[in-house]
Structures are given as C-alpha cells and as structure tokens.
Homo-oligomer: A and B are copies of this chain.
Amino acid sequence: MAPKQWSNFHVGRECSHQKWSRRNTPKFTVSSGDTVSFDAIDSSNGQLDTSSKASAIKTLDLGLANPVFGPIYMNDAQPGDVLKVEVLNLEVADWGWSAIIPGFGLLADEFPEPEIKIWELNREAGFAQFKNMRIPLRPFLGCMGLAPANDEELSTVPPTNAGGNMDCRELSVGSTVFLPVQTAGALFSCGDGHAAQGHGEVCGTAIETPIRATLRFELLKNQPWMTAPQFQTPPLAQIPNPLPDLGTYGALGVAPDLYEATRSATRNLIQWLVQTKGLTRSEAYILASVTGDLHIAEVVNVPNFEVAMTLPLGIFS
C-alpha cells in the first residue's frame, strides 16, 4: 500500500504566481482522491534569509511577497462544487523569520519602526526558542485558495470566500479545509508556510518559513450552500505539543467597536509581557503574533464588545 504521503504529482517552486486568476495555466489535472506535493518558498519570496537585519525590512519589496504555487486543475469541478483538501504532511525549513513591517499589522500606528526576528526551528524537539521561551511548532499553509469566478486578477494578500491567504492556524496536519469552487477546474494553489502563529497574526507575520506540503484532494459535487471556507481539525490528542500544560494568561479588550476591542486586548497583553516578563514592546508584539490567540469573548452586550488574547503559559517553562 502506498504511504499516506505518496503523491503522483509535484508542484515545484518554479510554478509561482502572485494573482488569483482563472487565466493562470494549470500545471496538471488531478482527479478526486489524488495526492499532490508542493515545494513553497517563504512569503518574502526569498528576499530574507538567516542573515537578514532590520534594514532588509525597510527595502522589502511587498510587490514580490506572498507568492502561491500552482494552480492545479480538478477534473470535473464546477461552480457550486466544493474542493476538499486534506493536509497530510508539512515539513518546514530549519529557520524562519518574523517581522514588524511599517504600515502593516494590527497596531501599525504604534509600531512604526522595522524589526526582524530570525528563528532557528528545532524540528525534532518541536519548538523555536525566543529568549527563555519555547514556541511550539504547529506548521500550516497560510495560503490555500482557488481562482475567482470571473476574469479579475486578485492580489494573493487578502483572503476571499474562495480561501487564499486565510492565515488560519487551525489548518495544520490532520486538518481538512473545504473551499467553494468558483470556476471550472477550481484552480487550487497554495504557499506561505507558517511554522507557528496565534489566532490573529497580529503583527502581520507568523514564523514565516519555506515549507513542503503534501495535500490530498477530493471533489464534493453540488454543495452550493457552502459559500465560504469551512474546516475540520483533528482530535487534540493527535496534535503534537512539546510544552507542559500550565493553562493560559489572557488580557481583555473592551470597546464599542470589535476592531478596537481587538487592538486593546493585544495592547494589554503586550503590556503584561513588558511589565512581568521583561520583554521590549516589539518583542512582545512579535510573540503575541506567533503564539497569542484572539478569541471573541462576547459580541452582544451593546454597546461594549470584548475580545480576549491568551498565551499558553507553558512557553515560559
């Protein structure tokens, strides 16, 4: 029997594009049940490496960022169908980067200066070290998406109802994502390897890394009720976690606007890290992006909504 990771098809780094478009020529056609491997450069598109300094962020060409790899054509896929994508395997590089990019991120107005953090990824032990903290690796593809319904050419940065740059940390190994097909053949592409990220990705970057992915595709015919991506995650017991189970610490943000409540929760957690853990504000902002989780505590007690950002306390152990 073929191993789970076995694939007939491979999409290499040369199959790169930066627009979601149904005019992109597919690399090959797959059928329901087929498995495909992908080799994706990091989201800087090779502009950053282990020797990069903050000055490299200043000269980063964002027009080159967030390439995706593909597309592949799903035989018989039509609008109204759903493409089911199972994440079978993900291999990250032995390094990654996170950055504060001026003008980008949830607190862009409060963090105007560029910063970079180069990570060494300990793939065997399953974590990345940051001072006295250990960030558990839970890799995923930031980008998995389909071409749009008409002839428009869309940037690969914002996500859409056909997926794309979802940056959804739940889509790791063992998870399945369901994408509503917009055009004949679906035209799936992926990229943007993340070694770890919290819910929210608040500073605008995860631990960005080159990644090799193995995905299995299935076509679900005639599911027009599904109009945006949906997903399934594996049992908790199947998710690798090298950290001790010490609970979480969380900060609330309270405001009449959900976006401001989100900013406030993030700012308050950063303040806690600065006050009690001795981090700089920039370090705390990056840490919040790669391992802090934004939950909506309540969104009904008008006029004040409430967002919580939590951190696993095991990272300090």
Q: Do A262 and B297 have beta carbons less than 8 Å apart? A: no
The smallest C-beta distance from A269 to any residue of chain B, in angstroms, reads 8
Query: Contact check: which of B250, B302, B308, B313 meets A158 at CB < 8 Å?
Result: B302
Q: Do A296 and B199 have beta carbons less than 8 Å apart? A: yes
In the complex, A63 has a CB within 8 A of chain B: no
Q: Do B251 and A160 have beta carbons less than 8 Å apart? A: no
Query: Contact check: which of B204, B231, B303 meets A300 at CB < 8 Å?
Result: B204
In the complex, A240 has a CB within 8 A of chain B: no
Known A235-B245, A247-B236, A304-B160: A298·B252 in contact at CB below 8 Å: no
Query: Contact check: which of B170, B236, B297 meets A308 at CB < 8 Å?
Result: B170
The smallest C-beta distance from A305 to any residue of chain B, in angstroms, reads 8
Q: Do A231 and B249 have beta carbons less than 8 Å apart? A: yes
Interface string of A26-43 (1 = CB under 8 A from B): 000000000000000000
A205 — nearest CB in chain B belongs to which residue?
Answer: B300
Interface string of A167-203 (1 = CB under 8 A from B): 1111000100000000000000000000000011111
In the complex, A8 has a CB within 8 A of chain B: no
Q: Do A252 and B230 have beta carbons less than 8 Å apart? A: yes
In the complex, A81 has a CB within 8 A of chain B: no
Complex contacts, A95 vs chain B, CB 8 Å: none
The smallest C-beta distance from A43 to any residue of chain B, in angstroms, reads 11
The smallest C-beta distance from A136 to any residue of chain B, in angstroms, reads 14
Q: Do B252 and A106 have beta carbons less than 8 Å apart? A: no
Selecting from A48-56, A72-80, A123-131, A253-261, the interface stretch reads A253-261
The smallest C-beta distance from A1 to any residue of chain B, in angstroms, reads 25
Complex contacts, A158 vs chain B, CB 8 Å: 301-304
Number of copies: 2
What's the Cα separation between A268 and B223 when bound, in Å? 13
In the complex, A21 has a CB within 8 A of chain B: no
Residue picked from A174, A200, A302, most chain B C-beta under 10 Å: A200
In the complex, A12 has a CB within 8 A of chain B: no
Complex contacts, A201 vs chain B, CB 8 Å: 298-300
Complex contacts, A310 vs chain B, CB 8 Å: 170, 233
In the complex, A86 has a CB within 8 A of chain B: no
Query: Contact check: which of B236, B306, B313 meets A168 at CB < 8 Å?
Result: B306
In the complex, A229 has a CB within 8 A of chain B: yes
Q: Do B298 and A168 have beta carbons less than 8 Å apart? A: yes
In the complex, A272 has a CB within 8 A of chain B: yes
**Could you jot down 9 A-B contacts, CB within 8 Å?**
A159-B304, A160-B304, A167-B306, A202-B300, A204-B300, A226-B268, A227-B268, A233-B248, A233-B310
Sample of 15 more A-B contacts, CB < 8 Å, known A201-B300, A226-B271 = A158-B303, A159-B304, A166-B298, A167-B297, A167-B306, A168-B298, A227-B268, A227-B271, A228-B251, A228-B253, A230-B249, A231-B252, A233-B310, A237-B245, A296-B296
Report which A residues bind B (CB closer than 8 A).
104-106, 157-161, 165-170, 174, 199-204, 225-238, 245-254, 257-259, 262, 264, 268, 271-272, 275, 293-308, 310, 313
